[in-house]
Amino acid sequence: MREARKTALITGSAKGLGKITALVLARQGCNIVINYVNSKVEALELVQEIERLGVRSIAVRGDISKRDDIVRIVEEVREQFGRVDILVNNAGPFIRERRHFVDYSLDEVDYITRGNMLGVMELDALILPMMQENKWGRIIHFGFGKASEARGWMHRAAYAAAKVGLVSFTKSLAEEESGSGITVNMICPGDIRGIFKERSIDEARRSFDPETPVGRQGTGEDVARMIAFLCHPDSDFITGNIIDISGGLDPIETLPALQQRKG
């Protein structure tokens, strides 16, 4: 009897790193759930592209920082596919403007914390019973470079706190589920920005990047390849890991470096 296709839910996947991950997993034969908040056109276009690869795909709107949306996403996926085998928690709000913590509003602190940690935990909690029932699952969290070291990150206090908290949760959940066929890992992309989020490794190799030690920009393909590896059935021995995908670049700038740049 032929084994049923795996179903992968990828949050924040209409564009960027999530989009490339969706395409890579689809090429490996997974049904794909695309999640978006505002990018409906891009999400529907991606669904069509994925279905041309011979697998099923749907787009579900929902903000991972809102509990009601999380519950609705899971209910819709369960209705359409009956299960989730792979959960990639790619979505996570980030405020690029550099500000001290005291300059954030309480609503902004709540949004960043929920979107990057509490919402992820709640989504995991709703998906886990399906994985436990099938005795198989892959959960991927997203962090930032050096998150496992719990270093201070000036102007990113709320974001860093949420992601570092997620590091501990990743390791804790991995231990709890280690006997149930479910692995839990975190990947920490480097400073992958703009068009490079949807570019291939070959495209990145065509230009030199002096800031990254390996000499080129990171890409969406770098991230998606690692996720695909962790989601492979034979990767069941790899769990509770925090994996930097940074090309050797330290994304956390020190205060002297910031001052030098401003000067």
Q: What is the pLDDT of residue 263?
A: 47
The token pair that represents 256 in the structure block: 């002297």
For tokens 């990947």, what's the residue?
Answer: 187
pLDDT digits (tens, 9 = 90+) for 126-171: 999 999 999 999 999 999 988 888 888 889 999 999 999 999 999 9
Provide the residue type at 198 as one letter: E
Residue 161, domain member (yes or no) = yes
Describe the crossing of helices 67-81 and 119-134 by its angle, rounded to 10 degrees. Answer: 20
- What gap in Å lies between CA 257 and CA 62, rounded to an integer? 38
How far, CA to CA in Å, does 177 sit from each of 127, 148, 167, 173?
13, 20, 16, 6
According to DSSP, residue 99 is labeled -
- pLDDT string in tens for the chain (263-residue length): 456 899 999 999 999 999 999 999 999 999 999 999 999 999 999 999 999 999 999 999 999 999 999 999 999 999 999 999 999 999 999 888 999 999 999 999 999 999 999 999 999 999 999 999 999 999 999 999 888 888 888 899 999 999 999 999 999 999 999 999 999 999 999 888 888 888 888 898 998 888 888 889 889 899 999 999 999 999 999 999 999 998 888 877 644 444 454 44
How far, CA to CA in Å, does 108 sit from each of 29, 36, 92, 95, 102?
39, 20, 13, 9, 11
Neighbours of 109 (CB within 10 A): 16
Q: What is the pLDDT of residue 3?
A: 67
Q: What is the pLDDT of residue 253?
A: 61
| Number of structural domains the chain divides into | 1
Decide if 244 contacts 146 (C-beta within 8 A). Answer: yes
Provide the residue type at 87 as one letter: L
Q: What is the CATH number of the domain that holds 84?
A: 3.40.50.720
pLDDT digits (tens, 9 = 90+) for 188-217: 998 888 888 888 888 989 988 888 888 898
DSSP H helices in the chain = 16-27, 40-51, 67-81, 106-113, 119-134, 157-176, 201-204, 220-231, 255-262
Polymer length of the chain: 263
Residue 136, domain member (yes or no) = yes
Give the residue numbers spanning the domain of 210.
7-262
Residue 108, domain member (yes or no) = yes
Provide the residue type at 15 as one letter: K
- What gap in Å lies between CA 144 and CA 249, rounded to an integer? 11
Of 61, 18, 17, 72, nearest in space to 37 by CA? 61
Of 118, 74, 68, nearest in space to 92 by CA? 118
Residue 2, domain member (yes or no) = no
For tokens 């390791």, what's the residue?
Answer: 171
- What gap in Å lies between CA 20 and CA 5, rounded to an integer? 19
Provide the residue type at 145 as one letter: G
Q: What is the pLDDT of residue 148?
A: 87
Residue 1, domain member (yes or no) = no
